């Protein structure tokens, strides 16, 4: 399922009181989606890394009360009565030892464990990697697995680019991923790291820190892996050599246009889409009209997704009519 579909499905299942398990490869944004849904629904979120727990961490430690009877001290991290509504998020559940998974079974099945009861208004969402992803996962036993409603998350290029533009991910990364779509997510269990939404977010922060050219490539390699870093290093050099976007907007009808170079065309289109506003959109489309239609449509879609007010301008209406065969 695409991220937007997963968000909608999570809302439906949470509202119907169903425990949920979200599946997907490492680094594709499962945790972020759960946090997004919690914010959207106005719910609290408690993020528990199941892989770090021991069985006693969920049940609590025993103590003896005044009548010499043993009781269990409720773990402080579990939601308490009167804490409103929320999501108890059990991340990396299938990497946890089987004894921990068994402890979670009672919590999922009966909404209680030992002397603890999950408060009304709180729901359980778990997440984990698939067996095919490796990473030390343990096959979930059927008694626990059948208690969940299962959702499979897959990466989606357009939705990731929309998120990236809104989140301020460096435009060179968005342009690179548009150009090399297969590198949005390329899992490799044999490598220490690989290109994925999580590592591209980290890469953006590295670029923002303006590292020395002497170490820049090594930082790229240590973030998205060797093969992707080689390609990205070449691409960002090209991106930085593009005509200045301000100069393009100053003279959109005469500013130079990259010729027969898809990488440069992707780069300049994405850069213009990022810089577009309702005020300068007329100049943006003047330049985009000098490119082939695929680059123009890509840039305008990115711009409108980032700033919906662009779609209310006369320049957008004129552009949309001109490209109605692919826009509508």
Could you tell me the pTM of the whole model? 0.84
**With pLDDT > 90 as the criterion, what percentage of the chain qualifies?**
59
pLDDT tier for residue 139 given thresholds of 50, 70 and 90: confident
Position with higher pLDDT, 75 vs 21: 21
Tens digit of each residue's pLDDT (9 = 90 or more) over 163-175: 998 888 999 999 9
Question: What confidence tens digit (pLDDT) does each residue in 210-224 have?
Answer: 999 999 999 999 999
27 phi-psi bin (left φ>0, alpha ψ -120 to 50, beta other): left
Domains of the chain by range and CATH? Answer: 3-152 (3.40.50.300), 157-327 (no CATH)
pLDDT (mean) for 268-287: 93
Could you give the CA distance from residue 148 to residue 130 in angstroms, rounded to a whole number?
A: 15
Quick one: how far is CA 195 from the chain centroid? 13
Q: Which of 305, 307, 295, 237 is nearest to 271 (CA)?
A: 295
Q: What is the pLDDT of residues 183-218, one digit of tens each?
A: 999 988 788 999 999 999 999 999 999 999 999 999
Q: Which residues pair with 70 in a beta bridge?
A: 64
275 in helix, strand or coil?
A: helix
Token digits for 270? 């994405």
CA angle 277, 181, 192 (to 5 degrees): 115
């Amino acid at each position: 399922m695409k991220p937007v579909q997963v968000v909608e499905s999570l809302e439906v299942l949470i509202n119907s009181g169903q425990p949920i398990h979200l599946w997907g490869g490492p680094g594709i944004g499962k945790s972020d989606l759960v946090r997004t849904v919690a914010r959207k629904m106005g719910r609290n979120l408690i993020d528990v890394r199941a892989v770090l727990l021991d069985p006693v961490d969920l049940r609590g430690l025993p103590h003896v009360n005044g009548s010499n009877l043993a009781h269990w001290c409720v773990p402080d991290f579990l939601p308490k009565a009167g804490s409103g509504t929320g999501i108890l998020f059990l991340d990396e559940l299938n990497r946890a030892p089987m004894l921990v998974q068994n402890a979670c079974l009672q919590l999922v099945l009966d909404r209680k464990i030992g002397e603890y009861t999950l408060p009304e208004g709180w729901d359980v969402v778990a997440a984990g990697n698939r067996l095919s992803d490796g990473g030390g996962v343990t096959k979930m036993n059927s008694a626990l697995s059948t208690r969940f409603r299962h959702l499979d998350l897959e990466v989606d290029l357009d939705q990731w680019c929309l998120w990236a533009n809104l989140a301020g991910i460096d435009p060179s990364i968005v342009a690179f991923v548009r150009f090399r779509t297969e590198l949005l997510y390329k899992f490799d269990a044999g490598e220490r790291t690989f290109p994925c939404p999580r590592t591209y977010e980290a890469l953006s922060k590295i670029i923002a820190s303006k590292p020395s050219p002497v170490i820049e490539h090594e930082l790229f390699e240590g973030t998205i892996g060797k093969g992707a870093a080689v390609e990205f290093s070449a691409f960002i050099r090209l991106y930085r050599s593009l005509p200045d976007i301000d100069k393009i907007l100053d003279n959109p009808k005469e500013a130079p246009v990259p010729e027969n170079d898809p990488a440069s065309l992707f780069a300049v289109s994405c850069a213009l889409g990022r810089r577009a506003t309702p005020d300068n959109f007329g100049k943006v489309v003047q330049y985009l009209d000098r490119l082939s239609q695929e680059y123009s449509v890509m840039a305008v879609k990115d711009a409108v997704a980032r700033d919906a007010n662009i779609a209310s301008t006369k320049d957008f209406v004129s552009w949309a009519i001109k490209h109605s065969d692919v826009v509508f």
